[in-house]
Amino acid sequence: MKQTIEAKEQELKRIFSDDYLFEIPAYQRPYAWTTEQTAELLDDLLVAMGDGKKSIEEVPPYFLGSIVVIKDPGRALAHQVVDGQQRLTTLTILLCVLRELCDEEGTRNMLDKYVCEQGDKFAGSEDRFRLSLRDRDRSFFRDNIQVKNRLPDFLKKDKVGFKNSQQRIQENAEYLWKILLASDQKRRDWLTKFLIQRCYLVVVSASDQDSAYRIFSVMNDRGLDLSPTDILKADIIGGISDAERPRYTDRWEEIEEELGREDFKDLFAHIRMIHVKSKARGSLNQEFRESVLKESGERQFIDDVLKPHAEAYQIVSKAAYQSTGDAEKVNAYLKHLGRLDNSDWVSPAIAFFHKNRDDREALIRFTRDLERLAYALFIRRADINDRINRYSGVLRAIERGDDLYAEASALQLSGEEKAAVLDALDGPIYLQTRVRLPLLLRLDGLLADHGVTYEHKILSIEHVLPQAPAAGSVWLSWFPEPDKRTAWVHRLANLVLLSRQKNAQAQNYDFERKKKEYFQKSGVTTFAITSQVLNSPEWTPNLLEERQSSLIEKLKTEWRLGV
């Protein structure tokens, strides 16, 4: 069959007419527009339609963007929507809201024809809705939004039990109802007239999937960028037989909904890294097809790659490992890793958990050493290229089954690296803005019982010795030499954690007042690293020397940094 592509600019009265029956294929992503995108669309329409003082023919036309469809050669009106379901679904919701808010039954019936093609019992035809969502949401959308007189009751329903896409449908319907209810019927009628007569979509029709997906890959939905995973989904699910496609669509979407849209995209980047073991050189889609999908068929990818790697990603990213014993050890290391300012460590973690998920001792040992390596790179401020190269080496070792704990393993630290970490720890660590909080929390866990961690909403770091002590304060008697004072102010020994915002005035209190009024909350401080300060009668260079040595020794022991 000859491949064809054609584009037509159509008024909405043609889009929602007997000329088209739009269907969202089962393999498409769920409806995802939030009230943010819906509000933007409605605001634009309300501005563009004007005040109603001109005739409708004088109002400038408004372009709503493009949609990409595949024409079904066996069904003259049927069009599968490859790109544009967010727009078409939201416009349908808008038309249904306007229909239900109409004062007169006759006007409601006029609007209903843009939602549903009326059947004829004498001719033996049934009602056909202009837009049919994907299988999982089709009846939900039809019964609650599209069928006349159902929407008001639907808005009163509790969202409990709704899928994410169904929640978005209800939230957007609620938003549109609230805003348009506040308008009078005359203004709603003008909006309806403007929508039907002066709003346009470009319908790009392709005769086959390949042509449609080429267009799909370079176009964006209004306000919601296409994800690379959406395009990959179209390729992968589209390549599965009709009989098995619904089952694999369900599996894909269950994984996507479980992880959430952003984490799902991240998972694909990590799968690419596990296979390619190098920094991304091109688009995710291209590298994925060349390095991941060529090793397996569509079904095998979902069964043997996507599903188990998603399970490992969930454990790793949420610190949610479960076992009959010692799960807290693994999860503690994963929580420490989760505080870092990069997620490059996640790929080797996924690969190892996928391969060794039932070996508890192996997981404890691996996460301990991965955390050590990740923090060493973090504290030394290794750049992204250094991190990617290092974790690529770890991935290769995991794949080959090498001894990860041999001295030369990429997972282990060299003598030079250990020395570099110790040198960084002994410097002005406060000036390393991304390092200081995760490091202090890690250290605090070592000082507290059983490596305790905290979930405070507010965390801040305070200098005990102020950065700018007041003239005549006890600080200047303890640190009379400006150079020595400056040398200590940003180092590890002089830093503590607070579970509150900083107080600019309190930062310069004298030592005793600072302890009582600033470092304690209701008489108690929650952080072990801060409690140590409360037990000190003074804060002198000698005490800081001892504290610095003690704190670094804790980290040195935990991370095995002996050179």
> For the ranges 162-176, 366-380, 395-409, which has the lowest average pLDDT?
162-176
Reported as a single tens digit per residue, the pLDDT across 280-334 is 876 777 788 888 887 778 889 999 999 999 999 999 999 999 988 889 999 999 9
224 — pLDDT class (breaks 50, 70, 90): very low
3-state DSSP assignment of residue 488: helix
What is the sign of the dihedral through the CA atoms of 320, 324, 328 and 329? negative
Q: How far apart are CA 43 and CA 35, in angstroms?
A: 12
Most confident of the ranges 52-66, 386-400, 533-547: 386-400
Determine the pLDDT at residue 222: 42
Cβ–Cβ < 8 Å for 10, 200: yes
Q: Does residue 295 or residue 103 have the better pLDDT?
A: 103
Has residue 150 got a pLDDT over 90? yes
**Count of H helices and E strands in the chain?**
26, 10
Burial of 288 (0-12, 13-18, 19+ CB in 10 A): buried
Reported as a single tens digit per residue, the pLDDT across 395-404 is 999 999 999 9
Has residue 379 got a pLDDT over 50? yes
Give the rounded distance of the alpha carbon of 23 from its chain centre: 28
Token pair for 245: 């496609």
1 — pLDDT class (breaks 50, 70, 90): very low
Q: What count of other Cβ atoms lies within 10 Å of the Cβ of residue 209?
A: 17
Buried b (16+ CB within 10 A) or exposed e, 231-262: bbbbbbbbbbeeeebbebbebbbebbeebebe
Interacting residues of 268 by C-beta distance below 8 A, sequence separation 6+: 228, 229, 232, 284, 288
Work out the average pLDDT over 194-204: 93
Has residue 433 got a pLDDT over 50? yes
Burial of 149 (0-12, 13-18, 19+ CB in 10 A): exposed
Determine the pLDDT at residue 209: 62
Residue showing tokens 């005769």: 207
Residue showing tokens 């059947």: 119
E-assigned strands of 47-126? 62-71, 78-83, 116-117
Work out the average pLDDT over 469-474: 88
Query: Which among 469, 398, 451 is positioned nearest to 558, based on CA atoms?
Result: 451
Task: Indicate the pairing of strand 62-71 with strand 199-206.
Answer: parallel
Q: What count of other Cβ atoms lies within 10 Å of the Cβ of residue 556?
A: 17
Give the pTM.
0.69
Q: How far apart are CA 135 and CA 167, in angstroms?
A: 16
Cβ–Cβ < 8 Å for 142, 129: yes
What is the four-CA torsion angle of 307, 309, 314, 319, rounded to 10 degrees?
150
Q: Long-range contacts: 84-87, Cβ < 8 Å, 24+?
A: 84/201, 84/221, 85/24, 85/28, 85/31, 85/133, 86/31, 86/32, 86/33, 86/37, 86/221, 86/222, 86/224, 87/41, 87/201, 87/221, 87/222
3-state DSSP assignment of residue 5: strand
Cβ–Cβ < 8 Å for 200, 268: no
Give the amino acid at 298: E
Interacting residues of 84 by C-beta distance below 8 A, sequence separation 6+: 65, 66, 67, 68, 69, 201, 221
Length of the chain: 563
Task: Indicate the pairing of strand 21-23 with strand 78-83.
Answer: parallel
Determine the pLDDT at residue 525: 58
Interacting residues of 285 by C-beta distance below 8 A, sequence separation 6+: 217, 228, 231, 232
74 — pLDDT class (breaks 50, 70, 90): low
Determine the pLDDT at residue 75: 62
Interacting residues of 97 by C-beta distance below 8 A, sequence separation 6+: 151, 173, 176, 177, 180
Q: How far apart are CA 210 and CA 3, in angstroms?
A: 9
**What's the Cα-to-Cα distance from 59 to each of 91, 200, 212, 215, 334, rounded to whole Å?**
20, 13, 33, 31, 59
Task: Indicate the pairing of strand 131-132 with strand 21-23.
Answer: parallel
Determine the pLDDT at residue 223: 41
Determine the pLDDT at residue 136: 84
Determine the pLDDT at residue 51: 87
Give the amino acid at 150: R
